């Protein structure tokens, strides 16, 4: 089932998500819904808080469904290592219509449970490392806009507030 994606300003997006205690049929349905929602958007990643579920779960597929081995499901993810730096434009399904340059690690190693409760480790570079960090931020209540400073952040937040007041957000 495709679920609605929350937008910047919704309280769930700004709170730390809770650990998944057990892989239940409800968690399996959540993961399936997240995959369908991510591909329908379309996006390269989606965290559970973005669909209003405050749990530490995210899905990523930088191939946007073109490579069947590209889909990654991470439950209760934790960074093992991060290093290097990359500066690239970044957007977000919860902040539609806006992008900005965000500093991210160029390499990241993440351990997490898969959909069957098995621990896995994922090593990523480039866009995948960026996507892991972006989705991990969602689990901690941070959006890419929150990582911006100065005029760029102010402009985006002001435009969102204006859209919100006009009923277009």
Residues annotated catalytic, as ranges: 135
Task: Read off the tokens for 26.
Answer: 């409800």
Q: Which residue from 69, 102, 72, 109 is spatially nearest to 87, judged by alpha carbons?
A: 102
Cα separations in angstroms, 105 against 63, 80, 140: 20, 13, 17
Task: Return d(Cα 100, Cα 92) in angstroms, integer.
Answer: 10
**∠ CA 58-121-129, rounded to 5°:** 60
Task: Return d(Cα 111, Cα 76) in angstroms, integer.
Answer: 8
Task: Return d(Cα 143, Cα 8) in angstroms, integer.
Answer: 8
H, E, C per residue of 27-77 = HHHHHHHHHHHHHHCCCCEEEHHHHCCCECEEEECCCCCCCCCCCEEEEEE
Q: Which residue matches tokens 């590209």? A: 70
């Amino acid at each position: 089932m495709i679920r609605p994606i929350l937008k910047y300003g919704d309280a769930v997006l700004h709170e730390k998500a809770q650990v998944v205690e057990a892989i239940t049929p409800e968690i399996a349905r959540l993961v399936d819904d997240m995959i369908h929602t991510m591909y329908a958007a379309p996006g390269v990643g989606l965290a559970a808080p973005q669909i209003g579920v405050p749990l530490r779960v995210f899905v990523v597929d930088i191939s946007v469904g073109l490579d069947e081995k590209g889909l990654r499901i991470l439950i209760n993810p934790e960074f093992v290592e991060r290093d290097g730096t990359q500066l690239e434009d970044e957007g977000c399904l919860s902040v539609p219509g806006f992008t900005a340059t965000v500093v991210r690690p160029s390499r990241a190693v993440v351990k997490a449970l898969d959909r069957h409760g098995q621990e896995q480790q994922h090593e990523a570079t480039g866009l995948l490392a960026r996507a892991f960090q972006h989705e991990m931020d969602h689990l901690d209540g941070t959006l890419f806009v929150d990582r911006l400073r100065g005029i760029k952040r102010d402009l985006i937040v002001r435009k969102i507030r204006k859209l919100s007041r006009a009923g277009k957000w």
